[in-house]
Amino acid sequence: MDKATPKIKALVGLGNPSKQYQNTYHNVGRKFVEYFALSKKAVTKFLQPSNKNFQYCQLEDKLLILPLTFMNESGIAVKQAASYFKLKPEEIIVVHDDSDMTLGKYKIVYDQSSAGHHGIQSTINHLKTQKFWRLKIGIRPAQEAVRQKAEKFVLKKISKKDGDCLHQAFDEIIIKL
């Protein structure tokens, strides 16, 4: 992101809301937003507006948003949050796992297709645009002998070692945001 880009006002962490998915690779986006809140000494209690499918936490200059929909329906919550807070798509950065990138790697992109990520496709469909920011965080095992299909590992629990690697990446990313 450079100075010519609009100010990011909201970070949306994609994941599955249920406890059984809490510490899985597919929830890396959600985990990042929660980690971001703690790193900023933010209120750790996220609020939920009436009849909305998301929770939020207000920092000084950023909103942190957690969809309460399952990953494949993320766009419902993103659209509701954008409307509720009067956000333009380009003021939002959607944080999500990326099974094509090695664990701990990350990339910030703008105006890209979903590349098969169902949570992103849902967001594109509901916002009716792909002109929003994305923070893609890699979850693919580094030393795969044979490349696995994403379905084989995205819902597995994050190991302690991988969790440490992700937290290191989270710390690097926070400095850049």
Domains and CATH numbers, the chain: 10-176 (3.40.50.1470)
Q: What is the DSSP letter of 157?
A: B
pLDDT digits (tens, 9 = 90+) for 109-135: 999 999 999 999 999 999 999 999 999
CA atoms of 34 and 90, how far apart (whole Å): 22
pTM greater than 0.75 (yes/no): yes
The values of phi and psi at residue 53, to 5°, are -100, 35
Report the candidate in 142, 169, 165 with the shortest Cα–Cα distance to residue 153.
142
**What are the start-end ranges of the E strands in 69-120?**
92-102, 106-110
| Block residue for tokens 């609009």 | 6
Instruction: Give pLDDT tens digits along the chain (177 positions).
Output: 544 456 899 999 999 988 888 899 999 999 999 999 988 876 668 889 999 999 999 988 899 999 999 999 999 999 999 999 999 999 999 999 999 999 999 999 999 999 999 999 999 999 999 999 999 999 988 876 677 777 777 788 999 999 999 999 999 999 888
Alpha carbon distances (Å) from 123 to 84, 114, 166: 16, 9, 24
Our answer to whether residue 26 is catalytic in this structure is yes
List 26, 96, 117, 118, catalytic entry:
26
